[in-house]
Amino acid sequence: MTQQRLDAMQQSPELFKKMVEYSLAIAKGGLDTTLRHLVEIRASQINGCALCLDMHIKQAKLHGEGELRLHHLAIWRESPLFSARERAALAWTELLTTLPPHGVDNADYDAARATFSEQELVQLTHAVMAINAWNRLNVAFRTAPGSADKAYGLDKASFS
């Protein structure tokens, strides 16, 4: 049986509100919506965040993402379904989510810069930062997947 944990939103509503505002600012920042969804899903897979994985898969589907690409996201390196730009974003996401002990080396930075403008790379980095923060919050308190569906209109995403 899963132990009941704290409700982070209820315990710290002001901080939760600031996190939501930060995420909304990122969403309005100009980074392609499809790319942002892929980043959110991939980081959530790596971090094992059930709530975020569930939420962002549903959001991606509602925005027209194909189910096969969603299934292939865990194997994006081997899959032919992702563009070079998406691959670069996923590589950057994995690097910043797992942060190697030596940090981000010049080769990895240069690879990202070869694909993204300065502004895009900063926006992408903020998207990775935000989803990792959400993942850590929801993993710590084991927020149940699907618990925010109605509030975010995700109950409209149908999966069979």
Instruction: Tell whether 155 is covered by a domain.
Output: no
Mean pLDDT of 77-92: 98
- Find the mean pLDDT for residues 98-112: 96
In degrees, rounded to 5, the angle at the alpha carbon of residue 74 between the alpha carbons of residues 69 and 80 is 50
Q: Kindly report which listed range (32-41, 66-75, 151-160) carries the lowest average pLDDT score.
A: 151-160
Confidence at residue 156, expressed as pLDDT on a 0 to 100 scale: 78
Residue 48 lies in a domain: yes
Mean pLDDT of the chain: 93
Q: What CATH number is attached to the domain comprising 72?
A: 1.20.1290.10
Long-range contacts of 31-38 (CB under 8 A, 24+ apart): 31/120, 31/123, 31/124, 31/127, 33/63, 34/60, 34/63, 34/65, 34/86, 35/85, 35/86, 35/89, 35/124, 36/127, 37/63, 37/65, 38/73, 38/82, 38/86, 38/89, 38/90, 38/93
Domains of the chain: total:
1
Percentage of the residues of the chain whose pLDDT score is greater than 70: 98
Rounded distance, CA 91 to CA 155, Å? 31
Half-sphere exposure of 36 (CA within 13 A, CB side): 21
Query: Which residue, among 23, 22, 41, 53, has the nearest Cα to 86 in the 3D structure?
Result: 41
Q: Say if 15 falls within a structural domain.
A: no
Q: What mean pLDDT is predicted for residues 101-111? A: 96
119-153 tens-digit pLDDT:
999 999 999 999 999 999 999 999 888 887 887 77
Q: Does 66 map to a domain?
A: yes
Indicate whether 77 belongs to any domain: yes
Does 121 fall in a domain?
A: yes
- pLDDT interval class at 157 (50, 70, 90): confident
Rounded to an integer, the average pLDDT of 41-50 is 98
Supply the range of the domain harboring residue 68: 28-147
User: Angle between the 13-27 and 33-47 helix axes, to the nearest 10 degrees?
Assistant: 130
